[in-house]
Chains A and B, each alone.
Chain A
């Protein structure tokens, strides 16, 4: 009698184990896995090493070295309207498709540096961070994006540092703006805290700042 139950148990336990084993065998490997930990990612993101400066980009374009591969993540329409010489168009919606992702991984292995860019830097920021975390070590991002590179290119021989590309620089003196002080006051405070007040050289943004509000 007792043996009878035991036989049933053996069959049931065997089936249970079998289901698990079948599950393990047929399990699909995930296509994407994080290779960097959060801490490593944060360190990579905080250091400026992975940002390709405009000056460096200009250098690369002049020397036409094949070490760098520009990847344009904008839509094909935008790409046709104008792009960096030698850039490859992989729209963001297809960036992680199987063949494109394989290609990106491959070029990473070939010691090629991938330089991602969009219209502005923020467009390429998240895709770049993801590629980085997925283990494509040599992924870089073009500082300022396409628009600012184009704006800087006419000034190619110019060695003057071009600061306008970084959207993270405070364009306005927030404090003064909010206080609504007069123009004269702002100028004096500009001297007191110069690092706060890097104004964009565009007249459009300059005048409201002066206006106080």
Chain B
């Protein structure tokens, strides 16, 4: 077991911020060069004229998942030390709905808005400011929202455990679903009128 490097103490914790900077640069570079700094390109996925979000998002998730599973199989990384976000069903669904609404209104998600802001998109900068205000609002109203925030706890569960299948089988299913989605997306893209942006 070599990874994850910092939690295992192979790299000192003082390097964590440096690693954040370097990995963040990679993240930002890839997002921007894939076209995620353009809100109209992002919104295209919801109107069928540009499926770049779907393609990038699914390819990334699958690549990382397959890599992670193989790495853990080969004992290169300790899967148990990977941080798993706790699932709170009610809270996650409500949050997801609000975020979806925000996505279609603002045309960005937080990561991409930073990319847009970095190359001078003023709407992306405004979006980022809106986010700050949103988080402050949420924090101030937290006593009222606490019940929802902790609603439907499911623990740090893995999706394959919830479904009762092995990790590998789930990965295979997801790969097949994703490839199907890519094919459908390509067909839809050809049919829908191109939007110039």
On A, residues with C-beta under 8 Å from B are 16, 20, 23-24, 27
Q: Contact at A24–B67, with CB atoms within 8 Å?
A: no
- Which parts of B10-37 form the interface with A (CB within 8 Å)? none
Q: Tell me if B138 is interfacial: C-beta within 8 Å of chain A.
A: no
A80 to B68, CA, bound (A): 52
Chain A binding site: helix, strand, loop or mixed by DSSP? helix
On B, residues with C-beta under 8 Å from A are 63, 67, 70, 73-76
4 smallest beta-carbon distances between A and B, as pairs: A23-B74, A20-B70, A27-B74, A24-B74
A68 to B75, CA, bound (A): 39
Residues of A near B63 (CB, < 8 A) are 16
Residues of B near A27 (CB, < 8 A) are 74-75
Chain B binding site: helix, strand, loop or mixed by DSSP? helix
**A-B contacts, 13 listed (Cβ < 8 Å):** A16-B63, A16-B67, A20-B67, A20-B70, A20-B74, A23-B70, A23-B74, A23-B76, A24-B70, A24-B73, A24-B74, A27-B74, A27-B75
A27 to B75, CA, bound (A): 9
Residue of A nearest to B63 (CB): A16
A27 to B71, CA, bound (A): 11
Residues of B near A24 (CB, < 8 A) are 70, 73-74
A27 to B74, CA, bound (A): 7
A24 to B75, CA, bound (A): 11
Residues of A near B76 (CB, < 8 A) are 23
The CB with the most chain A CB atoms within 10 A, among B63, B70, B75, B76, is that of B70
Distance from A9 Cβ to chain B, minimum over Cβ atoms (Å):
9
A24 to B71, CA, bound (A): 10
A24 to B73, CA, bound (A): 9
Residues of A near B73 (CB, < 8 A) are 24
A23 to B67, CA, bound (A): 12
A183 to B192, CA, bound (A): 97
A91 to B63, CA, bound (A): 48
Distance from B171 Cβ to chain A, minimum over Cβ atoms (Å):
13
A24 to B70, CA, bound (A): 9
A24 to B69, CA, bound (A): 12
A88 to B73, CA, bound (A): 38
A122 to B81, CA, bound (A): 34
A16 to B70, CA, bound (A): 11
Residue of B nearest to A30 (CB): B75
Residues of A near B67 (CB, < 8 A) are 16, 20
The CB with the most chain A CB atoms within 10 A, among B67, B73, B74, B75, is that of B74
Residue of B nearest to A24 (CB): B74
Residues of B near A16 (CB, < 8 A) are 63, 67
A181 to B75, CA, bound (A): 60
A20-B70, A20-B74 known; 11 new pairs, CB 8 Å cut-off, are A16-B63, A16-B67, A20-B67, A23-B70, A23-B74, A23-B76, A24-B70, A24-B73, A24-B74, A27-B74, A27-B75
Residues of B near A20 (CB, < 8 A) are 67, 70, 74
Distance from A181 Cβ to chain B, minimum over Cβ atoms (Å):
50
